[in-house]
Amino acid sequence: MKSIRSIRQEFARFIVAGALNTLGTYFLYLILLRVMGYRAAYSVSFLVGIFTSYYLMAIFTFQRKTNWRGMVRYPIVYIFQYFLGIFLLYILVERLSLSKAIAPLIAVPASVPVNFFLSRALVSSAVTSRSI
């Protein structure tokens, strides 16, 4: 079992990696808004973010080797985050008339704690698999 200090350090790295991934996918979202609707732009940037996040979480946050099993299982983490995010986007954009460009900045942080613990469990449990 990891110490509280170790978990805090992982969480700090998680926040840094998540911030970098979020910034990258947010800029991708803004670019995609020029050629598609906000739901499609969010979906595409979200999918790109899943795979970017897997590598950041495995290598930087939890200091594990990447592997096929982890990469295939990792999107499970984002099922909850995706549906919560798309629901919050709907509420923020359609019901509260918030800007489509600003709404994801509110929607994404809502699932951070769940994302951390699920990411940690999936990346750590996939360590015994073959590296990619």
Tell me if 21 is assigned to some domain.
yes
Tell me if 132 is assigned to some domain.
no
pLDDT tens digits along 107-131:
877 777 778 888 888 887 765 444 4
Tell me if 22 is assigned to some domain.
yes
Tell me if 32 is assigned to some domain.
yes
DSSP type of residue 112: H
The pLDDT of residue 129:
46
User: Residue 100's domain spans which residues?
Assistant: 4-125
pLDDT tens digits along 9-51:
999 999 999 999 989 999 999 999 999 999 999 999 989 999 8
Structural domains in the chain (count): 1
DSSP type of residue 131: B
